Structure formats: C-alpha cells, structure tokens
Amino acid sequence: MGDLLDDLLRDYELSGRKSLPQLKSRLKHFDGLRRLKAASFRVTHAEEYKAARMLVGVSPATVNRELGTLRRAFQIGIENERVLSAPEFRLIDVDNVREGFLEHADYERLRDALAEPVRLMMVIAYHTGARAGAILGLRWDRVDLEGGIVLPPGAQQRNKRVGAWPIYADLERALSEAEFVRDRDWPNVGCS
C-alpha cells in the first residue's frame, strides 16, 4: 500500500494539483495501512478503516474523501501495473445538501452592512449561488458587463462544465462599481 500511496502523491505533485496540501494531510491517516500488501487489501480492510475513523468522531464526508483517496491510489496502481484490481470502496451516505434561505429584505440589510470587498462577494454569491472558492477565483477577464454574463473557468465548476452566470440587478451595479474602483485606483494593472 505504501507504494500506491507514494505513487498517488507523485501524481498530484507532477500534475500540479491545487489539492496537494489536502492530500498530504489525508495521507497521514493511512500510516497503519502502508504495511499492508496492496494485492491483499480487501473490502474488509476499507470497512475496518471506515469504522475506526467514525469511532474517533471523523465526519462521514471526511471519511468518504479519505476512501476516495484510497480508491484513486488503486486506480493509479492499476495504471502503473502495480496491482491488477481494486477493491470496492463503499461510501457512507451523507446528507450534506445546502439548506437555508436568505429573504430578500435580509439580504439587503446584510449587503448594506458589509464593507468591500466582502460586499461584492456576498452579492455575487446571492445572485449566482456560487461557492466561495469560485468567487475568490474570479478574474476580470471573465466578466462581460456589456454581454451581461460572467464566465467562470471550467476548473471552478464542480462538474467541470463552464456555465455562464447572468449579470442582473444588484450584481450589475456591484460589478460596475467594482470595475470603476479598479480602473480609478489601479489603472495600470492588467485585467486580472
């Protein structure tokens, strides 16, 4: 197993994955598995690992991500011809649907109480439903105020497909104001 996990780490490093720090953190939890021979790793080992992690209070979503890491290590092991097959990794059912609503009047009060740049981020989130990581990764060259759309890069989309966000109402005003401030305060900075 140690070789599979090392190959996984190398794969992340060579491909320049942004999630490399998270992977390194997860790999620490697999120290007890490193001694096992990958060819003898079975579903029961994965189930025992899952039970042990849950017993110490790790959230089901985190355990699933760790099992996904093991699954990926086996996939790379198959590609590198270190193993012939991978065991089944049974994930835990997780109910992590985003819940809660912000009434428009509450949104307006919150928007008006926030300072820039947090206000702009909140307006974008409210009107697009985008996650914080996608908003933080936005660049001006992806904003088309005249066309009325924002085109987030595909890597920012959970399903890797680019979908345009419409610009309307408060979002249009907030982006126009941010563009004005950018042009006024940083006129010689590129479009990023």
* Domain identity same for 75 and 109: no
| Integer-rounded Cα radius of gyration of the chain | 22
pLDDT score, position 187: 84
In a domain, 94, yes or no: no
In a domain, 190, yes or no: no
* Mean pLDDT in residue range 56-80: 94
In a domain, 86, yes or no: no
* Domain identity same for 110 and 151: yes
pLDDT tens-place string over residues 136-167: 888 888 899 999 998 876 544 555 555 788 99
In a domain, 99, yes or no: no
* Mean pLDDT in residue range 56-64: 93
Task: Express as a percent the part of the chain with pLDDT over 90.
Answer: 66
In a domain, 92, yes or no: no
* Domain identity same for 113 and 181: yes
* Domain identity same for 6 and 72: yes
CA distance 174 to 146: 14
Helix (H) or strand (E) holding 165: strand 165-166
In a domain, 84, yes or no: no
Q: How many CA atoms lie within 13 A of 27 on its CB side?
A: 20
Helix axis angle, 118-128 to 104-113, nearest 10°? 160
Task: Express as a percent the part of the chain with pLDDT over 70.
Answer: 91
pLDDT score, position 95: 76
pLDDT band, residue 60 (cuts 50/70/90): very high
pLDDT score, position 79: 94
* Domain identity same for 123 and 69: no
Domain harbouring 129, CATH code: 1.10.443.10
* Domain identity same for 111 and 60: no
Strand partners, 149: 144, 166
In a domain, 96, yes or no: no
CA distance 181 to 115: 14
* Domain identity same for 65 and 127: no
pLDDT, greater one: 65 or 133: 65
In a domain, 165, yes or no: yes
Residue 171 has pLDDT above 80, yes or no: yes
* Domain identity same for 75 and 133: no
pLDDT tens-place string over residues 3-13: 999 999 999 99
CA distances from 58 to 36, 49, 52 (A): 23, 11, 9
pLDDT, greater one: 191 or 44: 44
Residue 191 has pLDDT above 60, yes or no: no
Cα-based angle 90, 92, 97 (whole degrees, multiple of 5): 135
pLDDT score, position 133: 83
Number of domains into which the chain is organized: 2
Helix ranges (H only) for the chain are 2-15, 20-27, 43-55, 60-79, 104-113, 118-128, 132-136, 169-185
Domain that holds residue 154: 104-185
